[in-house]
Each structure stands twice: as structure tokens, then as C-alpha cells.
Amino acid sequence: MSIENIKSSIRNIPDFPKKGINFKDITPVLQDSDLLKDSIDILAEKCISWKPDFLCGIESRGFIFGSALAYKLDIGFVPVRKPGKLPYDTYKINYDLEYGSNSLEIHKDSFFSGAKVVIVDDLLATGGTAKASVELVKMCKAEIAGILFLVELSFLEGRRGLSSYPIESIIKY
Ligand code: AMP
């Protein structure tokens, strides 16, 4: 398993989707069967000791890692989605971005009460998205077993707002 190989495949796209953002493009990792498998295997190793009942993935790149991880750990997958996408009864949360605001939703019946949930996304930046997802899981009366990322932009200190939970990431910048 080579974390370095995964890291060197992540492509930097300057000024995407807007000026000043250095976008970490993970599609070259997904494209390569060895890197994709290694990424899932390493993420699974990081969270297996948290003994989750569910994997919860954040739209949309969190779905890619989350569903593969759920399959590997033999547990169910729950999506956190952008507003208006989930068809049944939902909880909704609004949260602030650097510029403007955003919303996320989860189905109210996603978990059994007290279920242990691991949240996964491709990348931790400021932590706002993960924090909003934590709140949604808690609204469903489930517990956060941990939060998992492929990539962490450490200089943005997203962990600070999530410090009450176990957090793991594979690749740090
Ligand atoms: P944040 O809420 O600031 O932690 O942002 C995390 C979310 O935005 C994740 O779903 C990421 O996929 C996406 N994101 C933020 N910054 C970047 C970046 N530099 N490259 C790729 N994705 C990013």
C-alpha cells in the first residue's frame, strides 16, 4: 500500500471552481484500480476499530468512498445530500461557507437510535460541511463514531471545529 502513490496522483487545479481555490482533483485516484483499492483499504483500516453500524457519505465524492467502504465493512450506507434531492422526510441544516451559505439534508429514518455512524468525505477543508453532517446525524439520534477523509488541508484547521470526535485522514497538505 502506498500513500505516497495516492498523494502523487492527486491533481492540483488552480483557481477551480473559482479564483484562489487550489482544487484537489481525486479523479486520477479513482481511475486507477490499484490506487482506488488501496484508498478504500487504508480508509477501512482507519475506521474498523470504531465499529460503525453505518457509513454516512457526504454528496457527492463522499458517496464514492462511503459506499465502497460500507461494502467492505459489511454495513449500510446513508447519503447526506444537497437540498431537494432526498424524496422522503428529511432533517435539514443550513451552514455558512466562506462566501455565502449552503444546506444539507438527511432522511429522518436513516439510523436506529444510538447507532454508531462514521461520516466520510473526500476532503476536509474548513470543516463546515463535516460539522453540518455531524449535526444531521445527531438530529437522527445516532452517535458519531468518527469522521474520515481521504485528504486533509491541515492549514485550514478544519479539525478544530470537530475536536470532540475521532478524525482520521490519509493524505495531509
Ligand atoms: P469544508 O466544508 O470547507 O471542509 O469543505 C469541504 C467540502 O468541499 C468537501 O466536500 C470537499 O469535497 C470540498 N472542497 C473544499 N475545498 C476543496 C479543495 N481545495 N479541493 C477539492 N474539494 C474541496
Q: Each residue's pLDDT tens digit in the chain (173 positions)?
A: 589 999 999 999 999 999 999 999 999 999 999 999 999 999 999 999 999 999 999 999 999 999 999 999 999 999 999 999 999 999 999 998 877 899 999 999 999 999 999 999 999 999 999 999 999 999 999 999 999 999 999 999 999 999 999 999 999 99
Q: How high is the pLDDT of residue 7?
A: 98
Task: Classify residue 59 by its DSSP letter.
Answer: T
C-beta atoms surrounding 44 within 10 Å:
18
Q: How high is the pLDDT of residue 1?
A: 57
Q: Which residues contact 21 (CB under 8 A, 6 or more apart)?
A: 15
Does 168 qualify as catalytic in the annotation?
no
Q: Whose CA is nearest to atom 9 of ligand 1?
A: 123
Does 98 qualify as catalytic in the annotation?
yes
Full-model pTM: 0.97
| Three-state secondary-structure class, residue 108 | coil
Q: How high is the pLDDT of residue 134?
A: 98
Ligand 1 pocket residue status of 70, Cβ below 6 Å: no
For 95, phi then psi, to 5°, come to: -145, 155
In the reported structure, the alpha carbon of residue 31 is separated from the centroid of ligand 1 by a whole-number distance in angstroms of 20
Can you list the pairs that 164-170 forms with residues at least 24 positions away whose Cβ atoms lie under 8 Å? 165/134, 166/50, 167/124, 168/46, 168/47, 169/124, 170/3, 170/6, 170/39, 170/42, 170/43, 170/46
